């Protein structure tokens, strides 16, 4: 259902942009100011985005069932899905609780780390998600430089009797587990292309790292990304609406040239 929600929102808004509603600690003068700042940006950009991603930047200061729940309600009123970037990465019992709490707060999907495996790892998250008709997005390759130390390391695949990169294994797991999406950094378009071939268009790719981390939106889309996660380039700008409009226009112009 989450994949369908995203497709419908992207079509309705005519946008592939997922807003990462992140703010640095220095902007935290008070909980009220932080909430109001987040609310204002939502009001400014909601017609031009297809979803919102919330991270610890808001959950820690505002509280899951206090300020964040109110923001989720506001975002849902705009017909936009909301995902929680908690990168769930614990034992199964804890992962189940994480999923239940975030879904109870109103999140439509959560992002999880496949490093912990399936049995007594991520299986409970998928079970809760299926029961509550929510989504699970798996990390395949993150956008920061150090990602190669974990996601890029070589591992031994017993079933295929071969050495492969960790991110290849995670892409295959996303297919086997029935994930609703995978995260692949826009900073590594060659990885997007490689993972897209494995997924065979069955699972959408979400690409963070646009702008602040050096990722290029058009390169990510051309490599196979379905959605672009953009945060600081929007949230820290004096005119966030202008930034989103410019990005959308560039993507549409590029698509027109390809046709």
Q: Coil, helix or strand for 6? A: helix
Q: Is the Cβ–Cβ distance between 216 and 206 less than 8 Å?
A: no
Q: How many CB atoms lie within 10 A of CB 79?
A: 13
Nearest to 60 by CA among 14, 11, 23: 23
Question: Is residue 3 annotated as a catalytic residue, yes or no?
Answer: no
Report CA-CA distances (Å) from 95 to 20, 99, 126, 183.
23, 6, 10, 19
Give long-range contacts, CB 8 A cutoff, 24+ apart: 150-158.
150/115
Options 70, 78, 87, 245, the catalytic residue? 87
Which residues carry out catalysis? 87
């Amino acid at each position: 259902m989450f994949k369908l929600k995203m497709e419908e929102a992207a079509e309705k808004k005519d946008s592939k942009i997922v807003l990462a509603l992140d703010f640095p600690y220095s902007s935290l003068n008070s909980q009220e100011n932080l909430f109001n700042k987040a609310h204002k940006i939502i009001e400014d950009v909601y017609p031009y985005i297809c979803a919102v991603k919330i991270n610890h930047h808001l959950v820690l200061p505002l509280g899951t069932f206090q300020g964040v729940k109110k923001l989720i309600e506001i975002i849902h009123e705009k017909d936009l899905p909301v995902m929680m970037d908690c990168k769930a990465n614990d034992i199964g019992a804890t992962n189940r609780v994480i999923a239940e709490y975030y879904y109870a707060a109103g999140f439509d999907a959560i992002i999880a780390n496949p490093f912990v495996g399936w049995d007594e790892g991520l299986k409970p998250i998928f079970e809760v998600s299926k029961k509550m008709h929510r989504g699970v997005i798996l990390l395949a390759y993150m956008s920061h430089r150090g990602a190669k130390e974990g996601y890029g390391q070589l591992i031994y695949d017993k079933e295929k009797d071969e050495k492969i990169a960790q991110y290849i294994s995670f892409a295959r797991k996303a297919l086997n587990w029935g994930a609703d999406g995978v995260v692949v950094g826009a900073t590594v378009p060659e990885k997007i292309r490689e993972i897209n071939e494995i997924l065979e268009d069955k699972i959408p790719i979400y690409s963070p790292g646009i702008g602040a981390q050096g990722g290029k939106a058009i390169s990510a889309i051309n490599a196979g990304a379905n959605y672009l996660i953009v945060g600081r380039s929007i949230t820290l700008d004096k005119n966030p609406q202008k930034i989103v409009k410019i990005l959308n226009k560039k993507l549409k112009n590029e698509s027109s040239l390809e046709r």
